[in-house]
Structure 1
Amino acid sequence: MTIDVGRRSLLRNMAWLATASLILPGCGKKEEGGADSSSSAGAPAVLKKVGDGVVEFKYPDNPTFDLVYLAEALGYFDGTRTRPRYVGKVAAPQIIPLIGTGEIDFGTRMVPLVISAIASGLDIKVVSAGGKTLEEAPHMKYFVRKDAGIRTPKDLEGKTVGFNSFGACAEFVTKKYLRAQGVDVNKINWLVVPDNQAEQTLATGNTDLAIIHPPFSGGAESNTELTKLWSDYDLDGGLGGMAPYSVYGKFAREHPEATRDLVGAIAKAANWVNANPDEARKITAQRIGMELRLVERFAYVENLVVTEAPIQYYIDILESEGKLPPGKIRVKDVYTNEFNPFA
């Protein structure tokens, strides 16, 4: 049963997600593929159907490597009656809470955030797998300054780690690994820093280690003052690297065909990216105004079909961290492949 949770109540119940987050206005620019990126002065506009039966889904207009933007640029929404409606930039920690209350209809963030949202009563479901970790294309990388004297996990005690949000992969994958290496994670200062600011924050000494996701990890890779310690592939073999797409439950129930169109379009885009990683980097570089050589590639789960092992991985972590009562959430509560035409 869907539980109607107001945004104010949501932010109380999920304060650890909402800290240091804000919704920024959109830039109103014309996107690659012809979509008009518009923003509102306050909360995103509520839009469902426009003209001639077209269904629009509300989606963040964020500067990142993203399958919705690529699917639109590649024409994969053509021939459907479904289109993205960009509603402005949305800070990463706010994406899942806003999907859960319907202020945006669709978005991508890591599995533990979705699990926690479902456990709190929000109306949200994973409907598509997303990125995956490969040794040559990890989901996130760990950087330090070359002169920092940090070489082993134990060296991080007493230091400041910058990462993009609490409650997601950067926190839980890292803490799980560090504990296994005998590190007291309570002796580390955890600081939320957006990915696009993480390299500069590290280089200026405001953090001692930065956990950065593509495409922005490419800048840190090329920075001669920094060195990479690990990737998430080194930490868990990529098990925690699935970055799925989730939908507002009410939207999926009211617009099942649009949801199928959407999932099908990004699945086609994901397969295209896997086959054409350099071309995908070019589109992303143009879209976000980033130098091409610094844009790192993404790898995606084939056909974006969701598998259960990455979800169970995070259920186990959340239970062991005391963030989720044992048995409260099952894998089947978190996802469905019913909207994926390739499943």
Structure 2
Amino acid sequence: MSEARSTPPARRVAFRQLASLALAGSAGSLLAACSREGGDNKAAAAKTPEAPAVIGKAGEKVEFRYPDNPTFDLVYLADQLGYFEGTNTRPKYIGKVAAPQIIPLTGTGEIDFGSRMVPLVISAVASGSDIKVVAAGNKTLQDAPHMKYFVRKDSGIRAPKDLEGKTIGINSFGACAEFVTKTFLRQKGVDVTKINFVVIPDDQAEQTLATGNTDLAIIHAPFSGRADHADKLVRLWSDFDLDGGLGGMQPYSAHGKFIREHPESVKDVVTALAKAANWVNAHPEDARQLVSKRINLQLEFVDRYAYVDNLVVTEPPIQYYIDVLEAEGKLAKGKVAAKDIYTNAFNPYAQAVAKA
């Protein structure tokens, strides 16, 4: 049973009241379908004639498949806050999914929605996967970074050049930890070919560093807060220090077939996520408390997330990673444009602005 359903009624009512205050004045009108992306949808449908686009009937009960991972995530918060109530859409949690597998599984339709970094989605689109970013996610602030960089206090590592010949733990290849870091290190004159990058899950990165199996750990919220309190470790930087937060947006993506068959449900999901994001921004401490209970991590160790206002996607964070992937030789120049990666057509806040 999900924590959303086990939360005492009084607490849920209180959280909804807080959410209502945070969301006063929100947009009410929604698009009937993904009109701006119609050409892309038809092209995607043409690529898969065995699964033609089918628009779901009004009032149809729809479940969307989503990972049940121990992390700070808007789907879980939206569910716990009751933002899917009053809609015909609900999350169907399918168990834990390793971070590197989330976008590949969303791209093949084995899960319907996934939240991972922009370069993974760009690479998936470039390889022909039927996937689209439908909502922005978290953003990096100086006091709420997306990821933090830690070393042991006795390591002697204090400057970028000190990392040559060392081992860095990242949560996956092809995402922010790899590309933001390599871009920064190259700017500082570091030969990144002399660094060994290894994959370590965020919830294990602190211990792996403390025991000497890595020399630097890049840890994402919420688990980065625990490393900040570790006696043997010291924080060198955050991603805000490296690029001002430009590479810190972690959006929500959906499989193309789900988008085409269930446009109303996609609107339900994006709307619920946007409401939850705005609630988190307005009530960061309440959000930390919910996440602390969900992932069973002591409250003082839970780092918070900040989210893009209304989860409206903008192009600069996407173009940043297109440029990085091209510079890294991972993407042919001009193969993918930012407009190919995302749509705001299901976001009521974006549509309200467009109609104003």
TM band (smaller chain): 0.7 to 0.9
Q: Which amino acid aligns with 1:336?
A: T
Q: CA deviation at 1:266?
A: 0.5
Q: After the TM superposition, which parts of structure 1 deviate over 4 Å for at least 4 consecutive aligned residues?
A: none
SS of the aligned residue for 1:122 comes to coil
Residues 100-140 of structure 1 show CA distances to partners (whole Å, capped at 9, x for unaligned) of 00000001000000000000000000000000000000000
Q: Which residue of 2 aligns with 1:32?
A: 4
Asked whether the equivalents of residues 33 and 75 of structure 1 are also in contact (C-alpha less than 8 Å), the reply is no
- 1:59 is the counterpart of 2:66: yes
TM-score normalised by length of structure 2: 0.83
Q: CA deviation at 1:32?
A: 2.8
Please give the root-mean-square deviation of Cα atoms over the aligned residues, in Å: 1.3
Asked whether the equivalents of residues 134 and 252 of structure 2 are also in contact (C-alpha less than 8 Å), the reply is yes
SS of the aligned residue for 1:32 comes to helix
Rounded to whole Å, the distance in 1 between the matches of 2:308 and 2:225 is: 21
- 1:288 is the counterpart of 2:295: yes
Asked whether the equivalents of residues 127 and 336 of structure 1 are also in contact (C-alpha less than 8 Å), the reply is yes
SS of the aligned residue for 1:97 comes to helix
Which residue among 84, 87, 112 is the counterpart of 1:77?
Answer: 84
Q: Which residue of 1 aligns with 2:75?
A: 68
SS of the aligned residue for 2:285 comes to helix
Which residue among 159, 179, 193 is the counterpart of 1:186?
Answer: 193
Alignment of 1:1-343 (within 5 A): 29-34=1-6, 53-343=60-350
What count of residue pairs does the alignment treat as equivalent?
301
Residues 176-224 of structure 1 show CA distances to partners (whole Å, capped at 9, x for unaligned) of 0000000000000001000000000000000000000000001100001
Q: CA deviation at 1:325?
A: 0.4
Q: Which amino acid aligns with 2:225?
A: G
Rounded to whole Å, the distance in 1 between the matches of 2:191 and 2:269 is: 43
Rounded to whole Å, the distance in 2 between the matches of 1:33 and 1:99 is: 26
SS of the aligned residue for 2:149 comes to strand
Q: Which has the larger radius of gyration?
A: 2
Residues 76-101 of structure 1 show CA distances to partners (whole Å, capped at 9, x for unaligned) of 00100000000010000000000000
SS of the aligned residue for 1:342 comes to helix
Rounded to whole Å, the distance in 2 between the matches of 1:207 and 1:198 is: 9
Q: CA deviation at 1:148?
A: 0.2
Q: CA deviation at 1:33?
A: 3.4
Q: CA deviation at 1:34?
A: 4.6
Rounded to whole Å, the distance in 1 between the matches of 2:235 and 2:297 is: 21
Rounded to whole Å, the distance in 1 between the matches of 2:5 and 2:144 is: 26
SS of the aligned residue for 2:85 comes to coil
Asked whether the equivalents of residues 67 and 93 of structure 2 are also in contact (C-alpha less than 8 Å), the reply is yes
Asked whether the equivalents of residues 139 and 306 of structure 2 are also in contact (C-alpha less than 8 Å), the reply is yes
Q: Which amino acid aligns with 1:330?
A: A
Rounded to whole Å, the distance in 1 between the matches of 2:85 and 2:4 is: 14
Residue segments in structure 2 that go unaligned for 5+ positions in a row: 8-55, 351-356
Q: Which residue of 1 aligns with 2:45?
A: none
Structure having greater relative contact order (Cα 8 Å, sep ≥ 6): 2
Rounded to whole Å, the distance in 2 between the matches of 1:146 and 1:112 is: 32
Q: CA deviation at 1:229?
A: 0.1
Asked whether the equivalents of residues 277 and 307 of structure 2 are also in contact (C-alpha less than 8 Å), the reply is yes
Q: CA deviation at 1:288?
A: 1.1
Residue segments in structure 1 that go unaligned for 5+ positions in a row: 1-28, 36-48
Rounded to whole Å, the distance in 1 between the matches of 2:2 and 2:138 is: 26
Asked whether the equivalents of residues 32 and 287 of structure 1 are also in contact (C-alpha less than 8 Å), the reply is no
Higher helix proportion: 2
Rounded to whole Å, the distance in 2 between the matches of 1:312 and 1:159 is: 30
Rounded to whole Å, the distance in 1 between the matches of 2:274 and 2:99 is: 22
Asked whether the equivalents of residues 160 and 189 of structure 1 are also in contact (C-alpha less than 8 Å), the reply is yes
Rounded to whole Å, the distance in 1 between the matches of 2:80 and 2:70 is: 15
Rounded to whole Å, the distance in 2 between the matches of 1:120 and 1:33 is: 39
Asked whether the equivalents of residues 59 and 104 of structure 1 are also in contact (C-alpha less than 8 Å), the reply is yes
Asked whether the equivalents of residues 4 and 81 of structure 2 are also in contact (C-alpha less than 8 Å), the reply is no
